[in-house]
Chains A and B, each alone.
Chain A
Amino acid sequence: MTDAQKAMSDKTVLQIKGLCVALAGRGGKQLLRDVDIEVKAGEITCVVGESGSGKSLTAYSVMGLLDPESLRCTAGEILLEDENVLTVTPRRLRELRATRMSLIFQEPMTALNPVERIGAQIEEVLEIHCSDDARTRRRRVLEMLEAVHLPDPQRIFDSYPHQLSGGQRQRVVICMALILNPKLLIADEPTTALDVSTQKQILALIRELQQKFNTAVLFITHDFGVVVDVADKVVVMNQGEVVETGSRDEILRSPRNDYTRMLVSSVPSLVPQSREAVTGDVVLSIKGLSKIFVRRRILRPSTVVEAAVDCDLTLHRREILGIVGQSGSGKSTLARCVIGLETPSAGRIVLAGEELVNARGNAFRERFRRIQMVFQDPYRSLNPRVRVGESIIEGPTNFGVPRAFAMERAKSLMELVGLPVSALDRFPHQFSGGQRQRISIARALIMEPEVLVADEAVSALDVSVQARILKLLESIREKTDVGLLFITHDLRVAAEICDRVIVMNKGRIVEHGSAEAVLVHPRDAYTRALIDAAPGRHWDFRNFRPL
């Protein structure tokens, strides 16, 4: 590195000083308080925080994208190369966008205009900011598409967004953001909506281009694994305030702030603790289960999707069996077949020695006394119009348990899941996501099931909340002997809680064994790729040290 380059890379590109943002209107709630962040050229600064921490709000303030009708900056300044973006004219602000600062969004599926071709959308940036002729524009776009490693740039240029995968779209967004070589790139959770293997590639791409162009990057994320992999500097935010700033190693090894300590140590490690194999009775066994979706259409060929093919598994009492895989691997279909929301195309499901029937009617309903489910999205799995208590006793009353009796049981369950008894009289919207998930767990447990299916039950939760719900599930299996079928895409979560793990890919089970065997000594190539793609896999967060 020459001295000139070094001088350049030390240059501060973005400086946020004492930024305050509040809801519009008199006495509007303060959402950001006194935020200070500095980003230097050639450096990735990660802003980490849980939901409601204000990290995305900070990003949008920099871009000047806050909705003036509902939000306003009340104090502070945002200096982009010594120019305060909070006070520049709207015209100047538009000039700065894409040329000096750019933004990559969380949702690649919706960030592109669905009715315009990819090429035209990228060209639009050049049309706005440069005076190139059409031929030059096209050439520059194709070059940039090449630079983000999209295969066949020519074809991508002429495609519509819906013809590309999520990862490809995110590359297009990155291409759009970096085509004018801005000084500052803001990435708002750019990989949260992607599968781990795609995430790994996108992170590598951002790293590569950032070094190539010496860009300053403000990287917003909730995932400490990603922080380990990309950050130079880390800013931890909580409820609208910066609680700690430091280099990556300072934050990960020796956090000074209590909140930071709690947050970092909540992240489960990829390496499971060794556990004794659970050897109770087999409570659930599945043999040769397949689910094939056939969609017959008039005048068009039918489509056939093999969601699950020839799956076998067994689950013991008191055991937590993890089913892991990326989206579309068939793990949810398998779970839905077990619970009875889907009818398997072939195969047998045996519950405690008794084969489950799939015929509709009373015999079919009987299975719900014995198998219960916790859903992924706590905001959708409770009827917003029904009081929590009524939701919880719905199951038992369906099977003839008297209301008063069921309500008594609900009260005792509230204690088990860590909620006050008064919660029963309230409505779901009065609770946070984690609390709602506790309610859902109580609703399932009141049936005293032998098997509990948890379909991505902690995936929508913040990491600290996730840790508490995992503890709760662990204690429940101790107390109730329930066998837990735990569906997740997150290997860390699987490592944290599962006794045994099954890996699925494209509807098939590719590997199964004890959590340790599968996650530490994988035999299958796909499992290995999956583990390899997990961000921050070499860091032991709980003990603040590398593995």
Chain B
Amino acid sequence: MSSLQESGPIRREEAAPAGANAILRAALSSIPAWLAAVVMMCVVAMAVFAPLIATANPTAIAPAERLLGPTSAHFLGTDALGRDTFSRIVYGSRLSLTVGAGVTVFSVALGLVVGVFAGYFRAFDMVIMRVMDGLMAIPGILLAIALIALTGASLATVLVAITVPEVPRVVRLVRGVILSVRSEDFVEAAITLGSPIRRILWRHLIPSTVAPLTVQATFVFASAVLTESTLSFLGAGLPSEIPSWGNMMADGRMYFQLKPGLIFFPGFALAMTLLSVNIIGDVLRDRLDPKMEKRA
């Protein structure tokens, strides 16, 4: 086919093939990514096999063993009610991951539908985007604590309360992608081929949202985990006997000067989880969608 090589004056230069330097750089960037993946796998394993990993019942109160330092039986110590810190951290990962995954699935699904709608059917765009602006303006965490406090905390209310503020950002992202792609010639070409809207959406528009949405999903996940622990920390999350990292830190506040580990151990678990998810998100963005930083 080389005899048919045809190109034009506006053709852009092809990207430089990776030299030794570039490969080294890529390798450097993937060491943190690798570590992050390992940490995430540990957290997931912790959540799935919590009963096997935990050394004690995370909700068992033992007044005699309150505020112990690290011992052979409680190697991260115990809290003010004598509950085993390590076991509570292990079980706490379950709630964090559930909320993270749940919110991510719901807000991406909802955001995709609404975003495609706003981006493709311009008649709805104005109204949808004003509502999204309004939702964006309300501090998510305040709305969430208010909703949870007033309706009573349950996993369902926590999920809904955290999902609502996440949706507008996904909508904006999807709408932006749809708007830019729908002006591409290949979409116009599809129209002139008589393709029905269904086909244009599924074949030509929605596939372009996959990469940016994947990246965004990781950030939504991190944000949801953070919000859940913030809510618990402020006392507006699930009841305090339920093991969650935020609850543990809230319980530990009174004893911080005495036993900082009550805050630092769950805080470390939370920070490591968030850091790993964000690193994975950054690497995905660099690989899949380098221009996204501008869009979000």
Contact = CB atoms under 8 A, between A and B. Distances in A.
Direct touching of A and B (C-beta under 8 Å): yes
A314 B16 CA distance: 50
A465 B8 contact: yes
B22 to A, nearest CB: 7
A461 B11 CA distance: 9
B4 interface: yes
B258 interface: no
A432 B193 contact: no
A315 B24 CA distance: 61
A373 B189 contact: yes
Nearest to B11: A51
Contacts of A379: 11
B1 interface: yes
Contacts of B286: none
Contacts of B188: 341, 375
A473 to B, nearest CB: 14
Interface in A419-447: 419-420, 432-435, 437, 440, 443, 447
A52 interface: yes
Contact of A432 (B6, B203, B204): B6
B156 interface: no
B134 interface: no
Interface string B1-44: 10011111111000011111110000000000000000000000
Contacts of B203: 383, 386, 394
A28 B19 contact: yes
A77 interface: no
Interface in A220-237: 222
B17 to A, nearest CB: 7
A533 B238 CA distance: 77
A271 to B, nearest CB: 24
A386 B22 CA distance: 30
Contact of A377 (B6, B185, B194, B199): B185
Interface in A40-87: 50-52, 70
B8 A23 contact: no
Contact of A368 (B1, B20, B184, B192): B192
A366 B186 CA distance: 19
Chain B's interface size range is: 20 to 34
Contacts of B1: 420, 435
Interface string B198-230: 010001100110000000000000000000000
A460 B186 contact: no
B266 to A, nearest CB: 44
Contact of B193 (A24, A377, A447): A447
Given A25-B20, A380-B184, A468 B192 contact: no
B8 A418 contact: no
A26 B185 CA distance: 39
Nearest to B6: A434
Interface in B168-207: 184-186, 188-196, 199, 203-204, 207
Greatest chain A CB density within 10 A among B10, B190, B204 is at B10
A385 B207 contact: yes
Greatest chain A CB density within 10 A among B185, B190, B193, B204 is at B193
A29 B17 contact: yes
A372 interface: yes
Interface in B136-194: 184-186, 188-194
Interface string A275-298: 000000000000000000000000
Contact of A465 (B6, B19, B193, B194): B6
B118 to A, nearest CB: 19
A479 to B, nearest CB: 20
A366 B196 CA distance: 12
A462 B193 contact: no
A382 interface: yes
A411 interface: no
A203 to B, nearest CB: 18
A19 interface: no
B189 A25 contact: no
A51 B10 CA distance: 7
Contacts of A192: 9
A368 B16 CA distance: 41
A374 B206 CA distance: 24
Contacts of A372: 192-193
A494 B34 CA distance: 59
B193 A443 contact: yes
Nearest to A23: B16
Contacts of B17: 23, 25, 28-29
A421 to B, nearest CB: 12
Contacts of A447: 193
A340 interface: yes
A395 B19 contact: no
A207 interface: no
A369 interface: yes
Given A375-B185, A383-B186, A435 B6 contact: yes
Given A25-B16, A381-B185, A395 B9 contact: no
Contacts of B185: 375-377, 380-381
A259 to B, nearest CB: 14
B7 A462 contact: yes
Contacts of A465: 6-8
Nearest to A368: B194
Contacts of B195: 394-395, 398
B189 A375 contact: yes
A330 to B, nearest CB: 18
A25 B208 CA distance: 33
Contacts of A371: 192
B193 A26 contact: no
Nearest to B5: A432
A365 B16 contact: no
Nearest to B188: A341
Interface in A461-515: 461-462, 465, 468
A462 B4 contact: no
A26 B20 contact: yes
A399 interface: yes
B186 A461 contact: no
21 contacts: A25-B17, A25-B18, A52-B11, A341-B192, A369-B194, A376-B185, A377-B10, A380-B185, A383-B204, A384-B186, A394-B199, A394-B203, A398-B193, A420-B1, A432-B7, A433-B11, A434-B7, A435-B6, A447-B193, A461-B8, A468-B6
Given A340-B192, A372-B193, 4 more contacts: A52-B11, A380-B185, A394-B193, A447-B193
Interface of B: 1, 4-11, 16-22, 184-186, 188-196, 199, 203-204, 207-208
4 pairs of A and B residues whose beta carbons are closest in the complex? A25-B19, A434-B6, A395-B193, A368-B194
